[in-house]
Chain A
Amino acid sequence: MSSALLVEQILNGLQFGVMLFLMAAGLTLVFGVMGLINLAHGSLYMIGAFACAAVAAATGSFWLGLVASLAAAAAAGTLVEVLVIRRLYGRDHLDQVLATFALILIFSEATRWLFGSVPLYLNAPPILSGSIALPGGGQYPVYRLAIILVGIAVALGLWLLISKTRLGMRIRAGENDREMIGALGIDINRLYTIVFALGAALAGLAGAMIGALQSVRVGMGEPVLILAFVVIVIGGIGSIEGALVGALIVGVVDTLGRILLPQLFGAVLGPAQGALVGGAVAAMLIYVVMALVLAFKPRGLFTGSA
């Protein structure tokens, strides 16, 4: 493989990582602050994508769709928090797993009821379509660069929010000591609702951005949810920087594994067999990486609060 192609593939890996970070950021935030494991995060991702597709189809504007995705996912998040999630904070993880598993079933079927079973149309806006030339002769799609930029902006924004604002101070206080924050006279219910809605909005944004690149359909959140969990577990649950590092590791390892392993096995077993075996190993690779990380660092790379 030429070095220009290798550079392009590493860039693809980083971009895939940023995509995973968009999804993982909200998940890890909610876990860090409330200690809640939310399997329904993927459903909020789906809601964002459907809202974006529906509004973009009605108005013709992807940008309005993007706004709608944030609003719809935040609204759904608020609703779910007030009706269901609020009752789960004191419970053990088992109840949280089951309740949010039930939410997946409810959200998926409700979405199918509203929108039908056929995937919706959502494409990148014209201004972000096309490719730019990379130094060395490669080409790179503008929309993927945009995703990288949004990912960096979200990481930066979250960092600023948590370290520089009053809300961030409260969030940090809540992470460290839950009783303390109540004693300080902060309305903890409101804080939790805001954080959950923020996490949901991030999921919705990710769904809209990625939906334009992949497909908008019922169940789209499930495969990416599992990847996002792998990311935050590698990074250390509750840690934003851990989520970023974990996402980049998973993105690069998965991408390079998909490309290099079939060639590696192909050299030994011949191209057709090598493609099969290499593909099989590549599919398991990130889980192997996760197991290795946890074997040596049982609480992830950046130990968060768990």
Chain B
Amino acid sequence: MSRELLLNTVLALLLLALPFGAFALDEPFYIDLATRMVVLGLAATGLNLALGVGGLVSFGHAAFFGVGGYVAGVMATHAFNAEPIFAAPFTLSATDLMPVIWIAAMGLAALVALPIGAISLRTSGVYFIMITLAFAQMVYYFAISWPAYGGEDGLALSVRNALPGFDTADSLTFFLICYAMLMAGLAAFTILRNSRFGTALEAARQNEIRLAAVGVAPFRVRRAAFVLSAALTGLAGALYAELNKFVSPSMLSWHMSGILIVLVILGGVGRLFGPVAGAMLYVFLEFVLGGLTERWQLFLGLILLGVVLFARGGLVGLLAGKPRHG
């Protein structure tokens, strides 16, 4: 067993043990905290596909996170009020079934990512960073000024959506649902990275010309990666809305995009469990520092700076050494 595999196993078990420990100690709040780690970890795993494997530094993934969140929020609202989402040209009824919402969240995030990717991926480097930011800002301002779903006030979910056979209102059950989705997301990440597509994507990052020479268009590989990455982040957005029972434009803000990048770097860029480790550390830091001092952002900033300057490779890099390939 390699060191990284060992570390991943430990992290996965630690994350799983956390809510059960909290449950045993009758401290239900810490179950929600663990769920937050899981959901943010999944969102950052989505970004890791584009950023870590494909080298696409997207500063706009909050857009997909928020779109996923709004899918869950809008569905829940319409389902609760028993109104269709729209009646013309055909009737689209809402549902409160989580699997349907997950598929819709992934689908809509992918749909939004398609034109954004088509334009953004024509650029590279800083231009790519900035144009993804600009698109996310566009979605952000749209959400703020569109009154139907609360605008800046956001949208509250009266009750969590349903998963047959499970009590989603129960914190521990909801944690386990999210945990299962995270594991599924990580599995998808692994399969994609080890597939021919993943090899082509890494090649597109490392040597675009050679990839083109063997007859693969780098643009199409990147676009597929960008859309898949958006879909995963969108799925996490839907879960995040369910966790908070609330969705608002702040999920779409550039700060959120920044935090998603922070999670990936903090944990380790391109590493399977990097985003998960990053999310665990970030939520822990945010919570502990926030409890100790009003100036927690100052210390958070100092820690982030320390990681970039002195701990390249992030938490996973620090604990498991350099990756074997890539």
Contact = CB atoms under 8 A, between A and B. Distances in A.
Touching in the complex, A and B, CB below 8 A? yes
Contact of A93 (B57, B141, B300, B307): B57
Contacts of B122: 294-295, 298
B304 A105 contact: yes
B89 interface: no
Contacts of B142: 280, 284
A224 B63 CA distance: 20
Interface string B279-302: 000000000000000010110111
Interface in A35-87: 37, 84, 87
Contacts of B126: 31, 37, 93, 233, 237, 306
B261 interface: yes
Interface stretch (A6-14, A94-102, A169-177, A196-204): A94-102
Interface range, A side: 35 or more
A99 B141 contact: no
A84 B305 contact: yes
B119 interface: yes
B133 interface: yes
Given A94-B261, A99-B309, A294-B122, A287 B129 contact: no
A298 B304 contact: no
Contacts of B258: 97, 101
A94 B129 CA distance: 9
Nearest to B300: A105
Given A288-B138, A291-B135, A102 B127 contact: no
A84 B309 contact: yes
A110 B125 contact: no
A225 to B, nearest CB: 10
B207 to A, nearest CB: 16
B313 to A, nearest CB: 11
A283 B126 CA distance: 23
A276 interface: yes
Contacts of A233: 126-127, 130-131, 134
B166 interface: no
B171 interface: no
Interface in A257-278: 276
Contacts of A16: none
A98 B261 contact: yes
A295 B126 CA distance: 15
A279 interface: yes
Contacts of B261: 94, 97-98, 101
A291 B119 contact: yes
A104 interface: yes
Q: Taking each of A84, A92, A109, A283, which has the highest tally of chain B beta carbons within 10 Å of its own beta carbon?
A: A109
Contacts of B59: 97
B134 A94 contact: no
Contacts of A229: 130, 133
A300 interface: yes
B145 interface: yes
Given A84-B309, A98-B261, A298 B137 contact: no
A134 to B, nearest CB: 32
A106 B302 contact: yes
B262 A109 contact: no
Given A94-B57, A106-B302, A290 B127 contact: no
A5 interface: no
Contacts of A97: 57, 59, 129, 258, 261
A229 B132 CA distance: 12
Given A98-B304, A226-B133, A290-B131, 8 more contacts: A95-B265, A98-B308, A99-B308, A229-B133, A287-B137, A287-B141, A294-B127, A299-B123
10 contacts: A93-B57, A95-B265, A101-B261, A104-B301, A106-B301, A226-B133, A280-B145, A283-B144, A290-B131, A295-B119
Interface of B: 51, 57, 59, 119-120, 122-127, 129-131, 133-135, 137-138, 141-142, 144-147, 254, 258, 261-262, 265, 269, 295, 297-298, 300-302, 304-305, 307-309, 312
